[in-house]
Amino acid sequence: MDATPAPLPVPTDPAPVRPRVLVLFGGRSGEHTISCATAGGVLRAIDRDRYDVLAVGITREGHWVLADDDPDRWAISDGRLPEVEDTRTHVLLPQGVRDREVQALEAGQVPRALGEVDVVFPLLHGPFGEDGTVQGLLELADVRYVGSGVLASAVGMDKHMMKIVLAGHGLPVGEFEVVLPSQWRTDRQAVLDRLARLGLPVFVKPARAGSSLGISRADSLDELLDALATAQAVDPKVIVEAAVVGREVECGVLGGRDGGPARASLPGEIVVTDHRHRFYDYEAKYFDSEGVRLACPADLPAEVVERVQEIAVAAFDAIGCEGIARVDVFVTPDGGVQINEINTMPGFTPYSMYPMMWQASGLSYPELVDELLALALARPTGLR
């Protein structure tokens, strides 16, 4: 009698391949440390069961290096500021539209493959990262990435261009003047005469910087001259804004373009409680947790909340943002809303305002990270 044939093995589906995320941070700007802290939060929040992670840091000198993906390595703690150091293992992006492989380059060694990358999460703040430069590099490499494209990133970084675009779309923007380095060199008095129309006090800012670096409040001519020098040390192009009486309110925006209509979070409010800070400066943002209170959600009438959200989404669309942005506004005593600025890669630690506003709106920090990655993975490369 023939033996009963053994049953054929049941085919099983191969294990799904996890998307590879290159988390990029550090950079050449003055916000290097803040970028590292942001990366620590994101590295901790990424679901490692859903995504494979490659951590890449950019040193202050611009070297792209293989970095530790331990979130604790990049935390600001006990006065220690995280810093990307040159590990001597340099990282090279893909070099063509059909290439997805990232390589490691080490002195005297044959280049070795680090595997393919599906999406980059560029957690870079300030110039040489948030301003369209890295976005352009990723476009050339035909690699998907989280956040806005080249133009929106560049416009959002330059406060002068940003205000022109927002005003051109009919959005409420305060009075300002721009001081170019050539103007300041050739005719300072003409510049000061032009600034006089803004009155006092004014806020003097580097045109292309974030995290309140180089920003000063000036209540007199002497303070104005000092403030201009402080701002010019960060960026030769300076913007001077008339002071606005109002509450500092922020609103997160998420989505946009191919990911569908952008939506706004509940607003949050910055309340400076320590009078040593004349405004929400760099020290207050990152090193004086007791001198500042972040109220989230902000205590605002429902109609004002709705107006803030409408203006935030309108600003996001006017600039052409994608994925993520934080819009900062002033709410005046009569309930009016005026845009201060837009940030295309806002602070993104779990304790930053942007994630806090989404947490108050029902979206947790890990869910927020996941949605941003999903939006970037779904977005086509190239012109769109």
Residue-wise pLDDT tens digits, 192-208: 999 999 999 999 999 99
Phi first, then psi, for residue 91 (nearest 5°) are -115, 135
Residue-wise pLDDT tens digits, 267-321: 999 887 755 545 554 554 555 556 678 899 999 999 999 999 999 999 999 999 9
What pLDDT score does 351 carry?
85
Residue-wise pLDDT tens digits, 40-67: 999 999 999 999 999 999 999 999 999 9
Q: What is the C-alpha separation between 329 and 334, in angstroms, rounded?
A: 14
Mean pLDDT of 342-353: 91
Higher confidence at residue 27 or residue 99? 27
The overall average pLDDT reported for the chain is 90
Query: At 305, which amino acid appears?
Result: V
Residue 247 burial (CB count, 10 A): 19
Answer for the pair 217, 246: CB distance below 8 angstroms, yes or no.
no
Question: Quick one: which of 21, 264, 7, 227 has its CA closest to 120?
Answer: 21
Fold (CATH) for 176-242: Dna Ligase; domain 1 (3.30.1490)
Which pTM does this prediction carry?
Answer: 0.88
Mean pLDDT of 199-228: 93
How would you list the strands of the sheet with 202-206, edge to edge?
176-179, 238-242, 202-206, 216-218
CATH superfamily, domain 156-172+245-378, is ATP-grasp fold, B domain (3.30.470.20)
Equal fold, 20-145 vs 156-172+245-378: no
With H, G, I as helix, E, B as strand and everything else as coil, classify residue 191: helix
Query: At 181, which amino acid appears?
Result: P
- Spans of all domains in the chain: 20-145, 156-172+245-378, 176-242
Mean pLDDT of 17-21: 91
Answer for the pair 102, 114: CB distance below 8 angstroms, yes or no.
yes
Q: Pick one of 3.40.710.10, 3.40.50.20, 3.30.420.140, 3.40.50.150 as the CATH number of 20-145.
A: 3.40.50.20
Q: Which residues contact 323 (CB under 8 A, 6 or more apart)?
A: 146, 147, 148, 254, 255, 256, 259, 372, 375, 376
